[in-house]
Structure 1
């Protein structure tokens, strides 16, 4: 099996042999990603993984430190066109934390937002684009904002706008605690 490991901003990535021998009590959350042209695209929209492991041309795994927030998009199609649009914003946790089981996410994660269908996914993507236009990384956004956004989507109400003022207050409160 061809395997390629790339490191991010955290400490150097362990070897594939070390990764394969790790138990489920590892403190990193592993997220499976895939790409098969015109059929499936399972990728990260945002987030800073500790490292990536490339299994082959189609499959890879991204690992996240506890409390990291990331967004994953799932797009599937058949010969007639797109059959599934899904966007999830999740927060990584350890195997000892309360977490939800999510396919492709080990040991699990806190689900902050779940958008299903083209209309909802496009609405969330426009909110993410607006956050990035403010110069804010979506992974640094207040977790309760993602929950509020998900609740508003479910109610089909007006979507909340994330402001630089909210972000500044969140960052100050995070530093003080």
Structure 2
């Protein structure tokens, strides 16, 4: 028995464009993720990607269906400590939606919340932990809540809690529309 060299062993990894279309022909939103310890970490805090492609040891790409909500955190450090904290809650869009261009998010997404700086990011993370403590998945939270939270954060006002009553009202309104 002779062994034949495999054509797939030398083949380059498949193009991300090949993964960008789901079975229903709905284009997926591609989100770049990376981790280079101890300098840089770009990761998902919540979200349910339809698939994740590992590019190499440090980089991955998560792909989301239209209307999926997800949270990406960016953390950077240098020799003197942390230099950047960033948290973004985004919603994947359809091709006909107006999207915001966000680095590392292709073709773009609808930005629901943007927090910069350690104090603001920690405040949002506390709210996310509180939501999950109620038994509510953060991906199921009303987009209006993320907008409100981001606006209050930017204005320096008291941040609202997400309650079970607010979530129930969101679910009823979602059913009716």
TM-score (norm: length of structure 1): 0.87
Aligned to 1:17: 14
Q: 1:20: Cα distance to partner?
A: 3.5
Query: 1:46·1:139 contact (CA, 8 Å) conserved in 2?
Result: yes
> How many residues are treated as equivalent by the alignment?
162
Distance 1:17 1:174, change over 3 A: same
Structure 2: 5+ residue runs without aligned partners? 1-12
CA contact (8 A) 1:95 1:108 kept: no
| Alignment partner, residue 111 of structure 1 | 111
Q: Deviations over 1:98-145 (max 9, x none)?
A: 000000000000000000000000000000000000000111000010
| Cα contact 1:94–1:107 (8 A) shared by 2 | no
- Determine whether 1:124 maps to 2:124: yes
* Equivalent residues of 2:20, 2:27 under 8 A apart: no
Of structures 1 and 2, the one scoring higher in RCO (CA 8 A, sep 6+) is: 1
User: TM-score when scaled to structure 2?
Assistant: 0.87
How far did 1:175 drift? 1.8
Partner of 1:96: 96
**Aligned-partner Cα distance in 2 for 1:22–1:135:** 32
2:172 is aligned with 1:172: yes
